[in-house]
């Protein structure tokens, strides 16, 4: 497959897997907008043109949030894409607080590609928390989320200056908006 074919196949696969999911914002936006945002952030801010990493970005929440089996990703996109997706996938059998703590602890030990993906994911999530937040989230939960992302990003520092700068700008904006 060509690079473009891999990316389009990943976009179609992810869209199908997330077809019934909505974001928690006030618009109930289609969930697929999030993986597309992550891939776009990697490409536009990060200058990433690696089809393996961009495909992983499009697929990064499928195992965690849709019941997709690892073998489906490996069969369709290869072992390297699967490896990156697995590195950023939370174990949903664990309590939420433990999953969040593990993200902080594991961030410095991820592969370079997983670190880039995690940076882009947090950039998109923080942007959404600030501009199209979950309708039911009170101010304190938004503040806690922002502070938690800062701890995760601390473990990713030194990976990509432009992505880190983008996150830092959002963090500063979030501190102003949320009064943190």
What span, in angstroms and rounded, lies between the C-alpha atoms of 162 and 24? 28
Catalytic annotation present for 65: yes
Neighbours of 106 (CB within 10 A): 15
Which position among 25, 40, 50, 64 bears the catalytic label?
64
Name which of 111, 15, 10, 14 is nearest 54 in CA terms.
10
Which position among 25, 50, 65, 80 bears the catalytic label?
65
Catalytic annotation present for 144: no
In terms of Cβ atoms closer than 10 Å to its own Cβ (0-12, 13-18, 19+), residue 76 is middle
Active site residues: 64-65
């Amino acid at each position: 497959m060509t690079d473009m074919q891999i990316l389009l196949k990943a976009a179609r696969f992810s869209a199908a897997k997330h077809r019934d999911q909505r974001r928690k914002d006030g618009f109930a936006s289609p969930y697929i907008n999030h993986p597309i945002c992550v891939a776009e952030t990697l490409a536009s801010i990060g200058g990433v043109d690696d089809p393996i990493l961009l495909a992983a970005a499009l697929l990064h929440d499928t195992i965690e949030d849709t019941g997709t089996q690892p073998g489906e990703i490996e069969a369709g996109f290869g072992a390297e894409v699967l490896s990156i997706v697995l590195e950023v996938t939370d174990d949903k059998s664990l309590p939420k607080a433990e999953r969040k703590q593990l993200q902080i602890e594991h961030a410095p030990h991820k592969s370079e590609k997983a670190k880039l993906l995690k940076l882009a994911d947090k950039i998109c999530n923080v942007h959404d928390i600030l501009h199209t937040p979950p309708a039911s989230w009170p101010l304190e939960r938004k503040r806690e989320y922002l502070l938690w992302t800062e701890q995760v990003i601390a473990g990713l520092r030194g990976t990509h200056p432009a992505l880190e700068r983008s996150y830092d700008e959002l963090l500063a904006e979030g501190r102003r908006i949320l009064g943190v």
